């Protein structure tokens, strides 16, 4: 099977229950398969199951293991490089921090976790926490965690629909309720929970303080108008581009790196020579293998989507 041309394929989301999540994810998803609150829909997680094509029923991890070069390119390794999620906070997420590559590898992990958030929905007054206020120190943060005053030391930033936020590894961060975010990150789940508002969950204070950076490159990113699309962010580990396809129109996208298309609004069809077109749906990822060279996205009634890829 790996010797056949590997065309684009759609993944079913994998739903992760979280105490801060929601039970109702409509209009994104009619059902999640659980009665628990869901905080995250993993669109390109290792356990996400292929819905279309020759690998239907297999996990993304299995496809990467069997057809790695076709999927990821000659130098792409053996794991899909990006974990793309939808986040649905109904309450504040814990205050947390992620290590960078060097820190993670010193702990025996393959990589760190740098990420970004694209705001898809935001209620009035919605905020995220991004970094520490000026004057913060490691000892001061430790004391604030013990005293229950951690929130007072964090920079709370208002967000609205269309904002792109870069979350550099080492940035202390949290997400408030009232938003839906598209998160694109390195494929890693290494997270140190520093503070959780008194909820009875395990904290990782000392590891968090070791990887925390008091100053990082985190912040809002201004979009750039390109030829036929908008570049939302371009960083070492990922690029995210937004496309809008009008009625009876198409977008031609050259492909040289592994990545995916994520539907946001409307319906589209992802076409690549010699293989069956794949329907692009809101809240679903269509993985585009590095070997395809080019895809065309067509829509009869208009569609909006993003391309997330590893440079």
At 297 the pLDDT is 97
Which among 116, 32, 128 is positioned nearest to 82, based on CA atoms? 116
CB 82 within 8 A of CB 184: yes
Going by C-alpha positions, the residue among 72, 91, 89, 90 that lies closest to residue 81 is 72
The CATH number of 9-221 is 2.60.120.10
Q: Which of 193, 242, 284, 307 is catalytic?
A: 193
What tens-digit pLDDT sequence spans the chain (311 residues)? Answer: 444 578 999 999 999 999 999 999 999 999 999 999 999 999 999 999 999 999 999 999 999 999 988 999 877 678 999 999 999 999 999 999 999 999 999 999 999 999 999 999 999 999 999 999 999 999 999 999 999 999 999 999 999 999 999 999 999 999 999 999 999 999 998 999 999 999 999 999 999 999 999 999 999 999 999 999 999 999 999 999 999 999 888 999 999 999 999 999 999 999 998 789 999 999 999 999 999 999 999 999 999 999 999 99
pLDDT, residue 157, reads: 97
Looking at residue 76, its pLDDT comes to: 66
Main-chain phi, psi angles of 61, to 5 degrees: -60, -40
Give residue 51's pLDDT: 97
Q: How far is CA 183 from CA 106, 116, 164, 186, 262, in A?
A: 25, 6, 10, 10, 11
What is the predicted pLDDT for the residue at 152? 95
Domains 9-221 and 224-309 share a fold: yes
Per the structure block, which two tokens stand in for 3? 């010797």
Show me where the domains of the chain are located.
Answer: 9-221, 224-309
User: Which residues are paired to 242 by β-bridges?
Assistant: 230, 306
Helix (H, G, I), strand (E, B) or coil at 63: helix
Q: Which pLDDT does position 3 carry in this prediction?
A: 43
Does residue 10 carry a catalytic annotation?
no
Q: Is the peptide bond before 277 cis (omega within 30 degrees of 0)?
A: no
CB-based contact 132:154 (threshold 8 Å): yes
**Predicted pLDDT at 247:** 87
Mode of pairing for the β-strands spanning 230-234 and 224-225: antiparallel
Q: What is the per-residue pLDDT for 1? A: 42
Sheet of strand 127-132, all strands in order from the earlier edge strand to the far edge:
154-158, 127-132, 173-175, 95-97, 192-195
Fold annotation for 224-309: Jelly Rolls (2.60.120)
DSSP letters, 90-157, are: SSPPPEEE---HHHHHHTT-S----EEEEEEEE-TT-EEEEEEPTT--HHHHHHHHHHT-GGGGEEEE
């Amino acid at each position: 099977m790996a010797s056949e041309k590997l065309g684009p394929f759609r993944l079913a989301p994998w739903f992760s229950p979280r105490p801060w999540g929601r039970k109702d994810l409509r209009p994104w998803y009619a059902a999640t398969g659980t009665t628990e609150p869901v905080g995250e829909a993993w669109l390109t997680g290792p356990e996400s199951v292929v819905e279309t094509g020759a690998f239907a029923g297999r996990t993304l991890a299995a496809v990467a293991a069997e057809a790695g070069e076709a999927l990821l390119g000659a130098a792409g390794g053996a794991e899909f490089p990006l974990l793309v999620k939808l986040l649905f906070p109904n309450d504040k997420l814990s205050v947390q921090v992620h290590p960078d590559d060097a820190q993670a590898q010193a702990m025996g992990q393959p990589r760190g976790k740098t990420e970004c958030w694209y705001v898809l929905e935001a209620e009035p007054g919605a905020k995220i926490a991004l970094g520490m206020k000026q004057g913060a120190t490691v000892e001061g943060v430790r004391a604030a965690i013990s005293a229950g005053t951690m929130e007072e030391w964090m920079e709370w930033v208002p967000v609205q629909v269309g904002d792109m936020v870069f979350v550099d590894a080492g940035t202390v961060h949290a997400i408030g309720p009232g938003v839906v975010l598209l998160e694109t990150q390195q494929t890693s789940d290494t997270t140190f929970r520093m503070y959780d508002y008194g909820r009875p969950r395990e904290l990782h204070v000392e590891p968090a303080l070791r990887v925390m950076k008091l100053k990082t490159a985190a912040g809002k990113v201004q979009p750039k108008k390109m030829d036929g699309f908008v570049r939302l962010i371009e960083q070492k580990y990922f690029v995210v581009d937004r496309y809008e396809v009008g009625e009876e129109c198409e977008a031609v996208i050259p492909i040289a790196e592994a990545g995916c298309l994520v539907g946001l609004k409307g319906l589209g069809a992802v076409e690549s020579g010699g293989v069956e077109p794949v329907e692009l749906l809101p809240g679903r990822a269509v993985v585009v293998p590095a070997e395809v060279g080019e895809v065309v996205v067509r829509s009869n009634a208009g569609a909006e989507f993003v391309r997330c890829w590893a440079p």
